[in-house]
Amino acid sequence: MPLWSPSANLQSRVSRATGGQVRVLAVEDTEALKALLAADPVGSVSVAAAVRSRGTAAPGKGRSGALILGIDDDDGGSSGQPTLASACWLGSNIIPVHADAEAAVHYGQAAAALRRRVSSIYGRSEAVLELFDATGWGNYREIRSDQPLMSIDSQPLITPLPGVRKSRIEEFAAVERACAAMFTEELGFSPYQQGTSQYRDRVRGLINAGHSLIAVDPESRQITFKAEFGAVTDQAVQVQGVWVNPQWRGQGLATPGMAAVVRHGLKMAPQVSLYVNAYNTPAVRAYERVGFTQVGSFSTVLF
């Protein structure tokens, strides 16, 4: 995948690549973007959390600052003015929002023209797969095309695992090791390949925000179970990084551990969500036993 060209005029490149269909969103698009995201609080939680943190739809600073692209509905509804019909987050990840197949193709064309390195494309399946195909990028690591998007909006159906709590900053080293072990096991490569300091900052940020949950064995003081809230908004939270220490596997920790995660998550938002690989049948069944139901399908392309 080619490198980003710092001399490019963003809007002109996007417009030229998409026949004028896609534009780079600006600060004045912030409220329209928030309304679009609120219409799909579970599917769009990652982008909504990022916009909430930034406070604006405008491009981030620097040559690698994240952009948000948009396509307008020219019909304009009752106002007669164009309205934001879909959007696409373009940063270290690409995440389409409310994009149908046609819009996804345009976002893929724009991403290819902007010549950025990304670590993944993920989101609702149809949009992700169409977007990826339109980029023409061939050097991907893996395509995970079938990932049930699951959600729960009520208390778990089973008793939560006792002792699941927010991790503390003085536990950073142990939490980092657990997070790195989970990442490597899940993705097949070390998270430090993408930048050691960035990864550690991410883990530290989750702990400081109260979004890192762990259970600790009282005798060995080792982390036995952990999970994080990777994205948090007023409408939904998204669980990531669910992991049981290999020494404690087979002891029935995963399902009650997730029940405890749900209990914590529902204190932050009315819905707790996650997405999981369909081939991971034990995980899917565990989430169903907790009370999660499938509400859509995600896909992920890993680079």
Is the pLDDT at 20 greater than 60? The verdict is yes
Is the pLDDT at 6 greater than 70? The verdict is no
What are the distances in angstroms from CA 138 to CA 59, 112, 135, 142, 303?
27, 12, 9, 11, 9
pLDDT tens string 128-152? 999 999 999 999 999 999 999 999 9
Q: What value does the mean pLDDT of the chain take?
A: 94
Residue 82 near residue 72 (C-beta atoms within 8 A): yes
Per-residue pLDDT, 4: 44
pLDDT tens string 213-224? 999 999 999 999
Can you tell me the distance from the alpha carbon of 91 to that of 59, in angstroms, rounded to the nearest whole number?
A: 10
Can you tell me the distance from the alpha carbon of 252 to that of 261, in angstroms, rounded to the nearest whole number?
A: 15
Of 21-30, 67-76, 100-109, 118-127, the poorest mean pLDDT is in 67-76
Higher pLDDT, 195 or 120: 120
Is the pLDDT at 3 greater than 60? The verdict is no
The percentage of residues in the chain with a pLDDT greater than 70, rounded to a whole number, is 95
pLDDT tens string 206-260? 999 999 999 999 999 999 999 999 999 999 999 999 999 999 999 999 999 999 9
| Domain made up of 152-302: CATH architecture | 3-Layer(aba) Sandwich (3.40)
Is the pLDDT at 78 greater than 90? The verdict is no
* The pair of three-digit structure tokens given for residue 9, joined into one six-digit string: 């005029």
* Closest among 128, 164, 140 to 239, alpha carbons compared: 164
Taking residues 45-73, report their average pLDDT: 93
Is the pLDDT at 126 greater than 90? The verdict is yes
Per-residue pLDDT, 2: 44
Q: Domain extents for the chain?
A: 10-140, 152-302
DSSP string, the chain: -PPP-TTS-HHHHHHHHHTT--EE--GGGHHHHHHHHHTSTTTTHHHHHHHHHH-SSSPPSSTT--EEEEEEETT-GGGTS-EEEEEEEESSEEEEES--HHHHHHHHHHHHHHT---SEEEEEHHHHHHHHHHHT----SEEEEEEEEEEE-S--SSPPPTT-EE--GGGHHHHHHHHHHHHHHHHSS-GGGG-HHHHHHHHHHHHHTT-EEEEE-TTT--EEEEEEEEEE-SS-EEEEEEEE-GGGTTSS-HHHHHHHHHHHHTTT-S-EEEE--TT-HHHHHHHHHHT-EEEEEEEEEE-
What are the distances in angstroms from CA 97 to CA 33, 52, 75?
10, 15, 19
Total-model pTM? 0.92
Taking residues 69-94, report their average pLDDT: 85
Give the pLDDT band (50/70/90) at residue 81.
Answer: low
Taking residues 171-187, report their average pLDDT: 97
Taking residues 33-42, report their average pLDDT: 98
* Closest among 237, 223, 188, 183 to 42, alpha carbons compared: 237
Taking residues 76-94, report their average pLDDT: 84
Looking up tokens 């139901």 gives 293
